A and B are shown apart, each in its own frame.
Chain A
Amino acid sequence: MADKKRIDAPTGTQTVGHEWDGIEELDTPMPRWWLLTFYATIIFSIGYVVVYPALPGLTGATKGTVGWSSRGELDKTMQAEAARKAPILSAIAATPIEQLPAKPQLMQAAVQGGAAAFKTHCVQCHGSGAAGSPGYPNLNDDDWLWGGDLKAIEYTITHGARNPEVATTRTSLMPAFGRDGILTKGQIEDVVSHIRTISGEEKPSASARRGATLFEANCAVCHGPAGKGMREFGAPNLTDGIWLFGGDRETLARTVADSRKGVMPAWDHVLSPVTIKMLAAYVHSLGGGEATLAPNPAEREPGAVE
């Protein structure tokens, strides 16, 4: 190591004074434009510190003279977005929900808005694909407890289900046939046999025939004499392929013995009417939505109370 600065003859430039295996480094001066640029950035940074929030303090950073903040930016973006959406939202709000399908553009916007709101408010119970889980209905299918047309869905979302604080809520209560001592264990097994027979999962048996009599006396009031359910009471159709809590013997026996009931919040306390309308449109669009004013007669019991 020759720690000596010297003038390099071919270039006339001083070396930095270090040498590694014969390789030396020239202490070439910075180009003037480079230095000027560097000084300019320093001056710029002083201005930046004055104009924008920069210096941290105990309770927050300095505010800066133009009052810029990232939260303020977000607010501005959100307001701009709200302003952009305002006309279509007011158009949706002004349209009765059963008339939405006649206006494809509004319907499409409503479905998109509903999809976004669904991801925030509904996925906790119904799942991100709206496929539900035991106790929480799958919203993609064509089976509805309280009705599957736009108006019925909107009503359910607005008022909730079995909500003790809301007078208009969708409500009904199935007795706990076992716990309350209405039916014995054996009778419950017979009722389960009957239900599984009418839904096509078991072959008719003596137990099922006994169950049919018990069903007539205890269950038909709500579920209908043929077990096809009744939407006025949110009583599920027991003859179809869909079970809310499960269709095996054990689960059904528990349901009959202890009674089960899903609850759902009344969303009008939380969401605006237009959001609820969009949510209804979204849920209706998932593949099982029914036409308004034309309920499928096959779903109804003949002579059922309207």
Chain B
Amino acid sequence: MKELLEGSLAVAEVVRLCRPGVISAYPITPQTHIVEELAQIVANGKLNAQFVNVESEHSAASTVLGSVACGVRSYTATSSQGLFLMAEVLYNIAGMRLPVIMTTAARAISAPINIWNDHQDVVSLRDSGWIQLHAEDIQEAVDLHLIAYRLGEDKSIMLPVMVCMDGFILTHGLETVNMPSQEEVDKFLPPYKAPYKLDVTNPLTLGPLVDPEFYTEARFALNETHKEALALIPKITSEFSNVFGRNYNGLVEEYQMKDAERVIVAMGSVCGTIKDVIDELRKKGKKVGLLKVTSLRPFPSSHIYEALKNATKVAVIDRALSLGSFAPLASEIKAVFFGKVKKPKVISSFIVGLGGRDITRESIKEIFRLLTGKEKQGEFIDLKPELLKESYE
């Protein structure tokens, strides 16, 4: 049914429809509305789940680690510093092969403290073993949660999935959303049957000490599973489209790419703004396109190669930094083309929209303009040079 919903409430509602048995979270802006709403839903008896209030994100992550280890579908959500406080546990969740589903309301990181949106928090967790999916709009955020449960809980995968949605822009924005019915969700997402779980009658150890004899293979297997997830995601999204009628590729989305010469690669809500700019530039005859990366992990290298191999010039937008090195997404896009014969002449890298700095149509046009020139390396868009002259002396 079509409704006008705040992103956070839409996500809380779809989580309810997924029937988790345990929810544990600690509130942090801009994730708060999601877990507030879920607490209310549980308190009102609209979801038969245990909402575990905890004193920190570390405990929230530990709680859902425990509950999924006991075979119960679980959910948590966080942002920014909260995600970092969870980090130690998150690696364990992935290593123990526990399909926890988490929403991250993507937000800048301290210091300086900043509550607004960018991707520095989520991108820094890219090596944790979690599958990481990025939503462009509220509808996609809703749908990715359904896909996340199916994917993570698949017996061949058994991995946690993080659904990333831009803080404020999507969490606090209201948009028309087609909310699925319980019947549809039940059809798409069967109850969770854990292939292994903590059970006193069948004792099992998860995450024990593993010596050098075995550790490499455990990590190798984790990495192999990510490759399998790459193959499984399109199958799940095609099933998704049969049930819900909405089409996602789940890995990447191509927009006006057929004859595109200049292409922007980006993730998240900025893709909407980019699409609008592309429509405007296309009317003027400019051959521009967008490659949206939905799945950052697993990283769909071959899909990206196929999509970009014929483009002349590519601009990669990062809303995050790898301080002291190349921007994270840009370096991976470049890696895709290393040693390849067919490749774009230019792969430029742009940093934009840190800590909630507004990304306007002009910001995107500027990137397309700069793409007509020489290759740029980590070029900041909308930087205020006058602020750099300020000093504490």
A complexed with B = no
Residues of chain A whose beta carbon lies under 8 Å from any beta carbon of chain B: none
Interface residue ranges, B against A (CB under 8 Å): none
